[in-house]
A and B are shown apart, each in its own frame.
Chain A
Amino acid sequence: MGQVRQTRLELAALTRNSAEKSLIINSTMTSQFEPVRRLPNMQDIGPTALAERDAAITTLRGVFGLRGYDRSETPILEQTELYIRKSGGALSSRLYGFLEPGGLDVSLRPEFTSAILRQIANTTASDGQIRLMYDGPVFRYARPEDEDGDKTRQFTQLGAEMIGAHAPSADGEVIAMALEGLEALGITGGRVVVGHVGVVVDALSEFNLSERAKLFLINNIGELKNGEVEEVSNKATALGFITEAVVDDAQAAADRERIASTIEQVLAEGMGVQFGKNTGVRTPAEIVARLSRKMSQVENPVDFKRALDMLVNLSQVSGPAVSALQQGEAVLSSAGVSADLISNLGEVLESAEIEGVSSDRLNIDFGMARGIAYYTGMLFDIYLDDAHSETLGGGGRYDGLTRALGYDRDVPSLGFAYNLEAVIAAIGSTDNASDEITMISPEAEGSIAEAVAKAKDLRANGQRSAIEFQSLNDPSEDQVT
């Protein structure tokens, strides 16, 4: 027993010591340490803004719900892989990624679509049509000197996905719903600018280009639209797509033959002799195999130049739907490409009009570039008005995404998301102020018990009420003074 008692005493002493220690730490904290600041470009959100956001979310959920969309939620944290599979460098370089305690490489979600499609692919095997909506915070990092360097790095997306629908009418529905949601919030002037990745990809397919060259051109459409033709040409030259020498097919064929025979020689004599010893973990055979694959895909610089010229012209076509469609067809025809490619875009716009979207709210932009590489067909941005100053959100079609995520089937899918903070800013000031709170002072009521009882009564009647504790003495103050 004596043993136990002593241990208790020691424990008590220890506890007292650590309590004193924590007191010491507390009293020196303020002088030694600076306050912990909020992360740059992150926001604290107060009651008014939250009430505004809640109201907007409720309204939009109502609009989407009436059209048959059900709510869905995915984790904020995912394996980084989910977002790099098909998102493209513009998004994957902005991930908040880190090693989680379990040793996995994870990222805060920068968008919802990949996760929603993963959820669908995992949980359903049916070929039916699924409509889902979601909302929540997303995270995108930007360096201070980047174009988006001053934007908040956490913002709220609210969006919808339609999975399992091929028809252009589905695209029309999604565009119409994006504008309908804004109208429900009182934003009546919303505009949509529509582009089409499919048109660009299909048009490039009519030239004799490698996948690598096609990808290069698609990735640079934004630069071409901005008139940076020379910069893009320089990059293409550096990468060998454009050669400065006069193009001579016979010469090019002879070159190819010469290189092929060199490779054969290398294969016969061994890599080390010709090209240095160090091939790393790649075997000489692997290198030669890929090189010959690459060479078989080498484009004729004339084809590349023609494709580039076509894309320069196409990227400049934008404006009201009817005239832009005509101009787009003209560009394709004059480049020797079938103008039929544009018909899908025409059908999409027609179906949006059937949904009641007036044509003056729909513009086309063939040079539309989107940082997220998974889009395969129509894509669109939502704007507040004709000035197209700030985008309120956007979306598009991504039929190949499920396969890219590792599932063995392509599921036609499309969707869009609002940037909720931008949408709310566009609504302007609304009256979402909460009801007044009735403060009850224990002093005035006579006692704490009476004050609590009164507050309870008020709450029972649905009235906000709270106890005013400040009037009660703070015992710690007594000690100090």
Chain B
Amino acid sequence: MSNLRFALPSSGALFDGTLKLLDECDLSVRRANSRRYTADIPSLQGVDVLFQRQSDITIEIDGGSADIGVVGLDRYYESRLELGDTVLLHDGLGFGASKLVIAVPDAWLDVTSMADLADIALEFRAKGRDLRIACKYERLVKRFLNENDVNYVSMVHVSGGLEAAPVMGYADIIADITATGTTLRENGLRILVDGIVIESQSVIVGNGHALANDPEKLAHARQILEKIEASQRAQKYQRVTGDIQGESEDEVARQVMRRPELGGLDGPTISAVHTGKQNNWFTVQVLVRKSDLPDAVSHFRDLGGIGIAANDVQYVYRERCESYDRLVENLKPFKESGE
């Protein structure tokens, strides 16, 4: 039994996004100072936070020196060892969205699709040279090119500033991460219409072996997953409260439920308002999707509602934690029998 080692990206968009997400889940990370690579989560004992370079997190989890971690899906697929024990715990934390794309010089007017690129690669080959691609994520890119019959390619290793490679002349085309495509456009590059290698966002991965065989670690991982899932779900909902007049709780409930889609996630909560004068006011609370909020307010008004207010909610829990259930299923092969 030991602490759960939780690896977080030490910089960049994923660093900011992860800390914000954990704040929202009351799992704020406490770090003595920003140069320290270790930290803890005061509200969750038994968890050691390790700040790591994003490129190392999957490798550390594969190797067992961290138990779970936040990483980009693209990075995970690129650097995981399939022999390792890494499993996907959460498939979308909602930040760090990006695409790995194939882009060509804008002036290549004749090249719009991967089929064109396959053609160009053959033309290059006929002239005795390979199409040179500067890229991040060589494994993912090579496979994608092969799948699209772009075969005569040589990979050019570039550290940073990929976009400049075609202008500088050390590559013909590039495969790069982009969120909006603006930087590519500004550098005279154009994404091929079917040139998306992978659409990625931040995910949580974990060492299946460590989680399956250490109940304490698994329990901590569960708490983190539960809170993240409930918090993410809560962002889609608002609680609407209002006072509605009626003969009884049942009668008010019936009126509210005339629009079942606005009756809340599990039906309305109704309680009597004790004004001292009239006893036929009831406070009604429903949890509705944010997109249904205007409808819910109108519905309350139609029922003569007053004092209508809407609040954000922090967590919405369902009967089961889906990501935890999935995890338990995924951990079965790692369970050591007997000893």
Contacts and interface: CB of A to CB of B under 8 A. Distances in A.
A276 B167 CA distance: 11
Interface in B208-266: none
Contact of A84 (B110, B151, B167): B151
A89 to B, nearest CB: 4
A95 B147 CA distance: 11
B105 A93 contact: no
B115 A40 contact: no
A280 interface: yes
Interface of A: 37, 39-40, 84, 88-90, 92-93, 95, 143-144, 212, 215-216, 235, 238-240, 271, 275-282, 284, 287-288, 290-291, 294
13 contacts: A90-B147, A93-B143, A95-B146, A215-B115, A271-B107, A277-B188, A278-B105, A278-B188, A279-B105, A281-B172, A290-B110, A290-B119, A291-B110
B115 A239 contact: yes
Q: How large is the interface on B (under 10, 10 to 19, 20 to 34, 35 or more residues)?
A: 20 to 34
Contact of B108 (A39, A40, A84, A287): A287
Given A216-B115, A279-B107, A89 B149 contact: yes
Pick the most buried of A95, A212, A280, A288: most chain B CB atoms within 10 A of its CB.
Answer: A280
B146 A280 contact: no
Contacts of B172: 280-282
B192 to A, nearest CB: 10
A277 B148 contact: no
Which of A92, A240, A277 is most buried by chain B, counting CB atoms within 10 A of its CB? A92
A240 B82 CA distance: 38
Contacts of A88: 149
B194 A92 contact: no
Contacts of A215: 115
Contacts of A93: 143, 146-147
A37 to B, nearest CB: 6
A92 B112 contact: no
Contacts of A276: 105-107, 188
Contact of A92 (B113, B146, B173): B146
Given A212-B115, A284-B107, A278 B147 contact: no
Contacts of B147: 89-90, 92-93
A278 B167 contact: yes
B122 to A, nearest CB: 10
B110 A287 contact: yes
Interface of B: 82-83, 105-110, 112-113, 115-116, 119-120, 123, 129, 143, 146-149, 151, 166-167, 169, 172-173, 188, 193-194
A277 B113 contact: no
Nearest to B187: A278
Contact of A238 (B106, B107, B193): B193
A284 B173 CA distance: 16
B185 to A, nearest CB: 11
A291 B119 CA distance: 12
B129 to A, nearest CB: 8
6 shortest interchain CB distances as A-B pairs: A291-B110, A93-B146, A89-B147, A93-B147, A290-B110, A84-B151
Contacts of A239: 112-113, 115, 193-194
A160 B119 CA distance: 33
Nearest to A237: B193
A477 to B, nearest CB: 26
A281 B107 CA distance: 12
A277 B82 contact: no
Nearest to A292: B110
B109 A291 contact: yes
Given A89-B148, A278-B106, A278-B107, 15 more contacts: A90-B147, A92-B151, A93-B146, A95-B146, A235-B194, A239-B113, A239-B115, A271-B107, A276-B106, A280-B169, A281-B172, A282-B120, A282-B172, A287-B107, A291-B110
A240 B106 CA distance: 18
A146 to B, nearest CB: 10
A336 to B, nearest CB: 27
B146 A279 contact: no
A279 B108 contact: yes
A258 to B, nearest CB: 14
A275 B113 contact: no
Nearest to A286: B123
B237 to A, nearest CB: 31
A216 B193 CA distance: 14
A284 B110 CA distance: 11
A48 to B, nearest CB: 25
B83 A37 contact: yes
Contacts of A92: 146-147, 149, 151
Nearest to A284: B107
A143 B143 CA distance: 11
A35 to B, nearest CB: 12
B106, B119, B151: most-surrounded residue (chain A CB, <10 A): B151
A290 to B, nearest CB: 4
B166 A294 contact: no
Given A84-B151, A277-B188, A278-B166, A89 B146 contact: yes
A308 to B, nearest CB: 16
A280 B166 contact: yes
Given A84-B151, A212-B115, A275 B82 contact: no
